[in-house]
Amino acid sequence: MRHYDRLPELAAELVRRKVAVILAGANSAALAAKAATATIPIVFSTGSDPVQLGLVPSLDRPGGNITGVSNATNFLDPKRFQLLHEMVPSAAVIAVLINPDYRDAEKELDELQSAAMASGQKLLILKARTEPEIQASFMTLVKEHAGALIVINDAFFNSRPDVLVPLSTRHAVPTIFQYREFATAGGLMSYGSSITENYRQAGIYVGRILKGEKPSDLPIMLPTKFELIINLKTAKTLGLTVPPPLLARADEVIESCRPFAAVHESESGPKQTWRRAPPMSASGGQRWGNRPCPACG
């Protein structure tokens, strides 16, 4: 999603059309839909905490006309930083690619800055909201001698593995992404929940609402598992030796040139499990835990 400023207009158009349900697939889309209607049911799919985002008052009891699914991926950036540091411990500078229009950009950068300071590394912040700016960001990280790259979760980036993966391979920069689709497409590694299952769960909620259930009665769904995917073929292409302890923790290791192939899981990938959100704490807080592969040719 590049044109975040158009979302209120698009949401208002759906309201005028009197649709039965609105499915909002990103933080900004969900907020725009909520602002547009208090009566049409809304099902969101987000990577943030829906309570902190202001979408719902409670995970277990969302109330109103809105419910949905959170894959909690936006809380995992410090963990991704740690995993990338294990993969490339010699990287003194780690680049971070972020969309400046992304609502949680500054918050996630603060968390990464803390992680970098703790490990004695420097962050290079790269901002891009268009494909030409992505291209320019990779030129900058090469010029600044960044040793690795973290791509921050964003709807615009998530829809462009065919841009980001070839660039990371062409410029030989070890990169960690959010979703397995990037690793199976030739990216070095990914850590997060399943975006496919995220939308499948959202679709199930849409179906239940269309059959007569109320959004207020459907608790926010959260993933119970986060997966580490390592593309061993890409690591070899980059001249990296994956540390055995890191390799042992991987949920899936890709060794074949075939896109979406894996040695630890079936071709369809691991099945994602989900759980209902637990009740909120007394303080209101919640603890959060086919293109050819460019590396293979």
Q: Report d(CA 127, CA 260) in Å as an integer.
A: 29
Confidence category of residue 268, pLDDT binned at 50, 70, 90? very low
pLDDT mean over 115-121: 91
Report whether 109 contacts 125 (CB < 8 A): yes
Q: Per-residue pLDDT tens for 191-217?
A: 998 888 889 999 999 999 999 999 999
Mean pLDDT in residue range 32-55: 92
pTM of structure: 0.78
Name the phi and psi angles at 208, rounded to 5: -65, -35
129-165 per-position pLDDT tens digit: 999 999 999 999 999 999 999 999 888 898 899 999 9
Average pLDDT over all residues of the chain: 85
Lowest mean pLDDT among 60-74, 101-115, 139-153, 157-171: 101-115
Domains defined along the chain, listed by start: 4-73+194-223 (3.40.50.2300), 74-193+226-269 (3.40.50.2300)
Residues 185 and 291: beta-carbon distance below 8 Å:
yes
Return d(Cα 99, Cα 28) in angstroms, integer: 13
Look at the alpha carbons of 232, 246, 185, 141 in this order and tell me if their dihedral is positive or negative. negative
Residues 225-263: tens digit of each pLDDT: 899 999 999 999 999 999 999 999 999 999 864 443 333
Instruction: List, edge to edge, every strand of the sheet that includes 122-127.
Output: 122-127, 93-98, 148-151, 175-177, 189-192, 227-231, 252-254
Q: What is the pLDDT of residue 154?
A: 84
Helix count and strand count (H, E) for the chain: 12, 12
